[in-house]
Amino acid sequence: MDTTTPTTKQEIQISPHLLHNHPFLIHPLSSLPTTHYPTYTDFGVGAYIFITTYQQNSKPHLLLLHRSPTDSYPLHWESPGGGADLSLDDTLLQALCREVLEETGLQVTKVVDLVAVDEWRKPLPGVGQGEKKVIKWGFLVETASGEEVMLNPEEHCAFKWMDEGDVRDAVNEDSGMKFIGDQGRNLLRAFEVYRRWYTSSEKEGKGEGKDTC
């Protein structure tokens, strides 16, 4: 997927167990509220992105983004992600690729595993207008090597690559870093999934499915 043309189709690898357990990833986005998740109004995606060569340190480091002071939840830390958009995305997979590209400039090459599923409700503006019911899937992904993070300043003002100890300290102590909802817990969960996938002698889903986004 070219960074200047986010809609360009590119082949993306998907772990077979993901396609087996979550086939809606590559189904038409319009089918989510009508067929798969009729009780939800909005759908989101998130990406957990690791590198292992940060500052010549072999420990995996996870990418965190610092939300812009002018955006919602100002100056909170999070992983890349956002909402699926019927006007932009054909599938949930395409929404995942697009959000990562827009927020980081990084190009997703593989969707490895599911890390977390979050749900929340949000009242719509105006009295008696009802509410949004949102479900968001967060995935461990791989991105193309040799790419640098390029932030969208309207959404994020800084980024960090953090190892598990740093993230744990930030989440569990009075570090001054703020997280949205369960995001801190999900970041730690991402390290568990990473270890299971990349260090286990019996990795799940050794083959690879493919799709485009």
- Give me the CATH number covering residue 50: 3.90.79.10
What are the structure tokens assigned to 44, written together?
């989101």
* pLDDT attached to residue 99: 97
| Cβ atoms within 10 Å of 55's Cβ, excluding its own | 8
| Cβ atoms within 10 Å of 167's Cβ, excluding its own | 23
In a domain, residue 184? The reply is yes
In a domain, residue 211? The reply is no
Amino acid at 117: V
* pLDDT attached to residue 59: 87
In a domain, residue 103? The reply is yes
* pLDDT attached to residue 102: 97
From first to last of the 213 residues of the chain, give the pLDDT tens digit: 333 334 346 789 999 999 999 999 999 999 999 999 999 999 999 999 998 765 555 789 999 999 999 988 999 999 999 999 999 999 999 999 999 999 999 999 999 999 999 999 988 776 667 888 999 999 999 999 877 999 999 999 999 999 999 999 999 877 889 998 889 999 999 999 999 998 864 454 455 667 766
This prediction has a pTM of 0.88
Sort strands 61-67 and 11-14 into parallel, antiparallel or unpaired: unpaired
How many whole angstroms separate alpha carbon 137 and alpha carbon 44? 6
* pLDDT attached to residue 205: 46
Range of 74's domain? Answer: 13-198
In a domain, residue 131? The reply is yes
In a domain, residue 212? The reply is no
In a domain, residue 3? The reply is no
In a domain, residue 204? The reply is no
* pLDDT attached to residue 181: 84
How many whole angstroms separate alpha carbon 2 and alpha carbon 91? 18
Question: Domain tally for the chain?
Answer: 1
| Cβ atoms within 10 Å of 212's Cβ, excluding its own | 15
* pLDDT attached to residue 138: 98
Residues whose CB is less than 8 angstroms from the CB of residue 127 and which lie 6 or more positions away in sequence, other chains included: none
* pLDDT attached to residue 124: 75
**Count of residues making up the chain:** 213
